[in-house]
């Protein structure tokens, strides 16, 4: 049986922009997809704001900046092309944010279970985390395709917690977007937002319980948030 101060706790992480800086590879695949339609390439600083709702929405929003709207059938085709390009070299430029491995180790040492709750597909999430040597640290990796309702729906967050064997009242969400905050809030869990992620709004306005500047801050933040809960 797991022991430690956080033995009954589950810490749930978003993936893109929270655990891993994936924007360079996401934009690489996105611009390959834009080439198929003769559309302008997206700059990474713009595309970062569109990450968090999955590949289809990323393509849709990027094309809209050029005044283009795709038929649903074509959007589906382009999404598959994007995924193929992304999967082919999923970790060319992607790296964990500074301090991630140490923070995961620290939380595990206190007994916490760790999960990933992402709007990325589960197979791509597992592939990425395996390539980075991080997958085995998580008891559950729950992508958008693994649930009926993805983030911002709270059931996505709940599924990530329960699949670790945890309970929502002893959980914390760590994310970077409005979808992460809404999912945690809807489930009744506290949420910490990383300032350095792919925030789709001003981080100060997302309504998080805590804002984090570095992963060295995460363990004491989780301990404090959980200590305030029964």
CB 101 within 8 A of CB 113: no
CB 170 within 8 A of CB 189: no
DSSP, collapsed to helix, strand or coil, labels residue 66 as coil
> What angle is formed at CA 119 by the lines to CA 117 and CA 125, rounded to 5 degrees?
70
CB 86 within 8 A of CB 26: yes
**Secondary structure element (H or E) that encloses residue 178, with its range:** helix 178-187
DSSP, collapsed to helix, strand or coil, labels residue 193 as strand
Write down the catalytic residue from 14, 16, 21, 200: 14
Q: How far apart are CA 124 and CA 153, in angstroms?
A: 21
DSSP, collapsed to helix, strand or coil, labels residue 211 as strand
Six token digits for residue 157: 């967050």
Q: How far apart are CA 197 and CA 133, in angstroms?
A: 21
Six token digits for residue 212: 């984090």
14 is catalytic: yes
Give burial (CB, 10 Å; 0-12/13-18/19+) of 186: middle
**Which residue numbers are catalytic?**
14
């Amino acid at each position: 049986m797991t022991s430690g101060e956080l033995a009954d706790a589950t810490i749930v992480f978003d993936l893109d922009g929270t655990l891993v800086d994936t924007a360079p590879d996401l934009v690489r695949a996105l611009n390959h997809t834009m080439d198929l339609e003769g559309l302008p390439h997206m700059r990474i600083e713009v595309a970062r704001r569109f990450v968090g709702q999955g590949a289809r929405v990323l393509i849709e929003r990027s094309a809209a900046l050029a005044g283009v709207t795709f038929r649903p059938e074509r959007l589906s085709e382009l999404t598959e092309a994007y995924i193929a390009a992304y999967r082919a070299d999923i970790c060319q430029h992607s790296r964990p944010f500074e301090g991630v491995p140490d923070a995961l180790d620290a939380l595990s040492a206190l007994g916490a279970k760790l999960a990933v709750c992402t709007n990325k597909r589960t197979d791509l999430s597992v592939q990425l985390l395996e390539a980075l040597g991080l997958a085995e640290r998580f008891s559950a990796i729950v992508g958008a395709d693994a649930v009926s309702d993805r983030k911002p729906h709270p059931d996505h967050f709940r599924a990530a917690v329960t699949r670790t064997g945890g309970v929502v009242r002893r959980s914390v969400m760590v994310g970077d977007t409005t979808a992460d905050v809404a999912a945690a809030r809807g489930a009744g869990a506290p949420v910490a937002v990383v300032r350095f992620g792919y925030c789709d709004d001003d981080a100060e306005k997302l309504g998080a319980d805590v804002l984090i500047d570095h992963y060295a801050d995460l363990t004491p933040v989780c301990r404090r948030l959980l200590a305030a809960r029964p």
